[in-house]
Amino acid sequence: MNKIKVFSSQFNYQYGTVIHFPYSIASLLAHIRSFPDLASQFQFEKTFVFRNKLDEYVSRALDVDILLCSCYTWNWEITTQMARRVKEANPSCLVIFGGPQVPLKYEGDAPLKWVRNSTGNFFDDYPFVDMLVHQEAEETLRQIFEAYLEDKNYSNIKGIETREFRTPPAPRILDLDTLPSPYLTNLVWELVEPVEGVNYIASWETNRGCPYQCTFCDWGSATKAKVRKRNIDTLLQEIEWFADNKIPYVDICDANFGIFAERDLELAKKLRSVKEGKGFPGRVGIAWVKASSERVIPIARELLDCDLLRAVTVAVQSLDPTTLNIIKRSNMKFDKLSNLLKQFRDQKIENYTELIMGMPGETLASYKNGLEQLMELFPRPVIFIYNCGVFVNAPMNDPTYMKLHGIKVIRSPIYLWHSSIHNRGSVPEYDNITTSANSFTTEELKQMYLYGWTTQAFHSLGLLEYIAKFYHQVFDLKYIDFYEVLVEYCKTTSGKFNKEYQILLNYMETGYQGGGWDHYDPELAPIYWPIEEATWLRCVTDSALLEAEILEFLKYLQARLNFEINWDIVVDLVRFQVFLLSTMDQKEAVKKHRSLYMWKEFLVEGQTSLSSLVAKTIDYSWNNKVTLENKAEWCYKAIWVGRNQGNYKCHPEFLEAVQDGSSNALEKLSLAEAKNF
């Protein structure tokens, strides 16, 4: 008897030289294989992963019996195109869709606007799909395969939908230990093919479920659900597998790593042990527990000390109480957040926070106030800001919720920052993102984007960070007001900052018209950059030009706000600020700078009077983390790899300082010289 031929797809994008294993497909088939009599009836072919091989994959699958498609927001379009072509060539093939992008309800902008002139019925819009599997699929797929061998009657299997019927939801798999590991069985290697120059990276579940109910989120449709843990012994063995198989990156898929503090610390210690003993895995990516606290510090410390981790997330998403109430999210109190960040800084644990822009309830004023609060934190986290995506199975996509809050969306080409420009194929993917709500207009959202850009590129990434802090300390100038003047300056001048501002305006206009958010600069590296990172990279190409542009801006600011400061101080401050940055033209291992004033003490201690700024020659130095000669590699290390771990700048408190002892060791700039700088 010929075996039943099973093909599968889990398309992904390539990041640099790496791409994910098809973990979801491998998990499903590992469960099938744990039933040898059943598995022996099927022949499992390689999983389709690479987007640029669509034609080849279709030609391979012409004699397929069952096609399994694992669907995500980043692969829906290519998956549906592939499935359509396979079904046209082989109408008897059973096409099964599953994964987070499969709609639980076929209503609302997502998914109805995924197709032109939707009929309102999934199987009429996608006639090449025979069956949908909703939510967890390991046990459901086993039952489907058994029914396929018998009478092909699937109507008694829970958790599926066909053109003819929909069955009740399948129960959650409470005992995850009944599911074999796709890693320890080596099934992931059987499902992929070697490609020269490409390394595979691992997705890793230590638990499933999320106890929170944020309306913007759909963590595998397992939000507001009991968190189920996998067996610790299996997890420890998988860590050994990652090391033995030289996996460069492990993407931890838990919604809240650290929620089980004692257990997750044990995992962190094991990861550290194998990394130090075997050199792998290279790094881990983590979505930290939402209510982050000092409990994550020992976990993070283990991972940071062996270079497995870059930084810890302290996500807030919004700082506006009205918005937080609407999205059903609760943040820690701001004073506790400030204290936690101080603990991180004291232990040299890099950290970052995330904001979502364009959520219901947020206004332009509340958003700018949130930016101000984050910038006033000292020490402050690195800030990442994202558009508000509306995912198909997230509560925010419910038509009643959208109508209540007046949410409008556009379908926009998906934004996958840092993904390679190569091997993408010709099929674009899309997201739904908010463009307005009852609380903000599209024009106000563009203003939010603008101030998010200034906050990230100029403050969080450090171009003007300590200059803004100086004016905040001495003149009590709010950070957001400082950056409002920067925006005015960008609009009315023709220098480097104006050029970046014009690039941003075009970028926003394209994005909010549905043209997408990819930003590629051939002068930087062959990836798509977040716009704020590209701005930063272009600004740090030449230190002298950056200093000159900042000085021109500060002339504008001081005239605009009627501030009077000895220009010698301003010039020395600007030089000190640029010295704190990694720049492409100064790649020495130890950066050195002679200041005429004691900036470290003044800025770290938050002194508010210029009379406290000591005029004394100081030699400062810090260890530069980015010294690569190759420009693309420099960009990667400085701001892609280095953004959340601070590769691109040094904070003043970490400077080495040697006092000269005399105020005349370095001839001071005269006022006239400074003005001509």
In this prediction, residue 445 carries a pLDDT of 98
User: How far apart, in whole angstroms, are the C-alpha atoms of residue 469 and residue 379?
Assistant: 12
Bigger pLDDT: 226 or 73? 73
Task: Name the residue among 482, 501, 499 with its Cα closest to residue 556.
Answer: 482
Band (675; pLDDT cuts 50, 70, 90): very low
How high is the mean pLDDT of the chain?
Answer: 93
What string of DSSP letters covers 432-490? Answer: EEEEEBTTB-HHHHHHHHHHHHIIIIIIITSSSHHHHHHHHHHH---HHHHHHHHHHHH
- Chain centroid, CA 574 distance in Å: 31
Q: Is the dihedral of CA 461, 462, 463, 468 positive or negative?
A: positive
User: Average of pLDDT values for 204-208?
Assistant: 96
Task: Inform me whether the pLDDT recorded for 36 exceeds 50.
Answer: yes
In this prediction, residue 549 carries a pLDDT of 98
Residue type at 555 in one-letter notation: K
| Letter string b/e over residues 4-39, b meaning 16 or more CB atoms within 10 A of that residue's CB | bbbbbbbbbbbbbebbbbbbbbbbbbbbbbeeeeeb
Sheet strands (E) in 99-178: 131-133, 160-161
Type and span of the H or E element at 32: helix 23-33
User: Average of pLDDT values for 210-223?
Assistant: 78
Packing angle, helices 543-561 and 567-579, rounded to 10: 140
Answer for the pair 47, 191: CB distance below 8 angstroms, yes or no.
Answer: yes
Task: Inform me whether the pLDDT recorded for 410 exceeds 70.
Answer: yes
Task: Inform me whether the pLDDT recorded for 623 exceeds 70.
Answer: yes
Answer for the pair 158, 168: CB distance below 8 angstroms, yes or no.
Answer: yes
Band (345; pLDDT cuts 50, 70, 90): confident
Band (665; pLDDT cuts 50, 70, 90): very low
User: How far apart, in whole angstroms, are the C-alpha atoms of residue 450 and residue 508?
Assistant: 9
What string of DSSP letters covers 241-268? Answer: HHHHTT-SEEEE--SSBTSSHHHHHHHH
Residue type at 136 in one-letter notation: E
Task: Inform me whether the pLDDT recorded for 207 exceeds 50.
Answer: yes
Task: Inform me whether the pLDDT recorded for 224 exceeds 70.
Answer: no
Domain range summary for the chain, segments of one domain joined by +: 4-183, 205-397, 437-677
User: How far apart, in whole angstroms, are the C-alpha atoms of residue 660 and residue 671?
Assistant: 23
User: How far apart, in whole angstroms, are the C-alpha atoms of residue 99 and residue 69?
Assistant: 8
Task: Inform me whether the pLDDT recorded for 548 exceeds 50.
Answer: yes
Answer for the pair 434, 448: CB distance below 8 angstroms, yes or no.
Answer: no
In this prediction, residue 397 carries a pLDDT of 95
In this prediction, residue 622 carries a pLDDT of 97
Token pair listed for 299 = 């976990």
User: How far apart, in whole angstroms, are the C-alpha atoms of residue 204 and residue 284?
Assistant: 10
In this prediction, residue 381 carries a pLDDT of 77
User: How far apart, in whole angstroms, are the C-alpha atoms of residue 239 and residue 245?
Assistant: 10
Is the bond into 111 cis (omega within 30 degrees of 0)? yes
Token pair listed for 592 = 């050195």
**Per-residue pLDDT tens for 37-96?**
999 999 999 999 999 999 999 999 999 999 999 999 999 999 999 999 999 999 999 999
Task: Inform me whether the pLDDT recorded for 667 exceeds 50.
Answer: no
Task: Inform me whether the pLDDT recorded for 674 exceeds 50.
Answer: no
Task: Name the residue among 416, 29, 51, 55 with its Cα closest to residue 198.
Answer: 51
Band (645; pLDDT cuts 50, 70, 90): confident
What residues are paired with 619 via a beta bridge?
594, 658
In this prediction, residue 644 carries a pLDDT of 83
**Per-residue pLDDT tens for 555-566?**
999 999 999 999
In this prediction, residue 219 carries a pLDDT of 72
Contact residues for 38 (Cβ-Cβ < 8 A; gap 6+): 32, 142, 145, 146, 149
Neighbours of 120 (CB within 10 A): 9
> What is each CA distance from 565 to 368, 477, 562, 611, 613, in whole angstroms?
28, 14, 10, 12, 12
Using DSSP's 3-state secondary structure scheme, residue 154 falls into: coil
CATH H-level, domain 205-397: superfamily: tm_1862 like domain (3.80.30.20)
**Per-residue pLDDT tens for 280-324?**
999 999 998 876 678 889 999 999 999 999 888 888 899 999 999
Answer for the pair 450, 483: CB distance below 8 angstroms, yes or no.
Answer: no
In this prediction, residue 337 carries a pLDDT of 79
Type and span of the H or E element at 141: helix 138-149
In this prediction, residue 212 carries a pLDDT of 87
Which residue, chain included where needed, has tokens 């949130």?
370
> What is each CA distance from 545 to 14, 139, 486, 588, 594, in whole angstroms?
35, 62, 17, 19, 19
Band (673; pLDDT cuts 50, 70, 90): very low
User: Average of pLDDT values for 123-142?
Assistant: 97
User: Average of pLDDT values for 616-632?
Assistant: 96
User: How far apart, in whole angstroms, are the C-alpha atoms of residue 314 and residue 297?
Assistant: 12
In this prediction, residue 666 carries a pLDDT of 36
**Per-residue pLDDT tens for 266-277?**
999 999 999 999
Answer for the pair 241, 183: CB distance below 8 angstroms, yes or no.
Answer: yes
Sheet strands (E) in 124-198: 131-133, 160-161
Which pTM was predicted?
Answer: 0.91
User: How far apart, in whole angstroms, are the C-alpha atoms of residue 662 and residue 564?
Assistant: 27
Q: Beta strands 430-436 and 66-70: pairing type? A: unpaired
Give percent of the chain with pLDDT exceeding 70.
96
User: Average of pLDDT values for 352-368?
Assistant: 96
**Per-residue pLDDT tens for 183-202?**
999 999 999 999 999 999 99
Task: Inform me whether the pLDDT recorded for 672 exceeds 80.
Answer: no
Task: Inform me whether the pLDDT recorded for 677 exceeds 50.
Answer: no
In this prediction, residue 222 carries a pLDDT of 53
CATH H-level, domain 4-183: superfamily: Response regulator (3.40.50.2300)
What residues are paired with 104 via a beta bridge?
none
In this prediction, residue 377 carries a pLDDT of 84
Task: Name the residue among 578, 576, 675, 583 with its Cα closest to residue 627.
Answer: 583
Token pair listed for 120 = 């309102």
What residues are paired with 48 via a beta bridge?
9
Task: Inform me whether the pLDDT recorded for 210 exceeds 60.
Answer: yes
User: How far apart, in whole angstroms, are the C-alpha atoms of residue 549 and residue 535?
Assistant: 14
Which residue, chain included where needed, has tokens 């800030």?
383
Band (662; pLDDT cuts 50, 70, 90): very low
In this prediction, residue 660 carries a pLDDT of 65
